[in-house]
Amino acid sequence: MFRPFADWLADTPLSKTLQDHAWVVPTSQSIHILAVSIVFGSACMVNLRLLGVGRSGRSISQLSNTVVPWMWRGLAALLFTGLVQTIAEPVRQFVTPMFWAKMAMILLVATLTALYATAVRRNAALWDAASSRPWPARIFAVLSTLLWLAIIVCGRFIGYTWSFYA
């Protein structure tokens, strides 16, 4: 269904320009990985703290308020570099179920993160004490970690599986 669109996109002048410069995709992918580091590293720090693993430095609310804005910045960089890679190689992305699964999971985890960050900002004291922390905290932590891991797997495997579908 998306194949005609991908073929059309691959034929546009913008896509052709990106394809003509061999450095564009590797450079974009490198920046993409750096942004994954920021987002996934931040997510793991928050999630591990919510699960009670690791040394306690800052409070949950301090940590979240510091780290979550960096996750949004990282996500913006991911969307931009991801867009560059998609315009340069549209067929590779659109034919692979891995790509669509990845997009769906990103939407889900971004929504969950926004809900979590809002809840912590509204009621820091409640979230900071382990005794009063709302019960969804642990579910969010597990779900968010699993989603980010699955997103990384899908991202890497787009490159290894797309030729089966093209």
Partner 1 sequence: MTIAELLAAVEAWPISAAMRGEQPGTEWLFPIIETLHVMALTLVVGSIAMMDLRLLGVASRNSAVSRLSNEVLPWTWTAWAVAAVFGTLMFMAKAQTYAGNLQFRLKFVCMGLAALNMLIFHFGAYRQVVRWDEGEPPMSAKTAGALSLLLWIGVVFFGRWVGFTT
* 77 near partner 1, judged by CB under 8 A: no
Question: Which is closer to partner 1, CB of 2 or CB of 152?
Answer: 152
Binding residues for partner 1, rule CB under 8 A, total 29
Supply the minimum distance, in Å, between the C-beta of residue 8 and partner 1: 27
Question: Which is closer to partner 1, CB of 30 or CB of 111?
Answer: 30
The conformation of residue 134, written as its DSSP 8-state character, comes to -
Question: Which is closer to partner 1, CB of 28 or CB of 93?
Answer: 28
**What angle separates helix 13-20 from helix 60-88, to the nearest 10 degrees?**
100
Question: Which is closer to partner 1, CB of 55 or CB of 122?
Answer: 55
How many Å apart are CA 67 and CA 138, to the nearest integer?
18
26 CB neighbour count, 10 Å cutoff: 9
Residues 33-72 that bind partner 1 (CB under 8 A): 33-34, 36-42, 44-45, 54-58, 62, 66, 70
Retrieve residue 149's tokens. 């891991």
- Spatial CA neighbour of 99 closest among 11, 52, 160, 146: 160
- One DSSP character per residue, 46-98 reads HHHHHTT-S---S-HHHHHHHHHHHHHHHHHHHHHHHHHHHHHSHHHHHT-HH
The conformation of residue 21, written as its DSSP 8-state character, comes to -
Question: Which is closer to partner 1, CB of 143 or CB of 150?
Answer: 150
Residues 142-161 that bind partner 1 (CB under 8 A): 149, 152-153, 156-157, 160
Supply the minimum distance, in Å, between the C-beta of residue 74 and partner 1: 9
Using CB under 8 A as the criterion, which residues of the chain lie in contact with partner 1 when the complex forms? Answer: 26-27, 29-30, 33-34, 36-42, 44-45, 54-58, 62, 66, 70, 149, 152-153, 156-157, 160
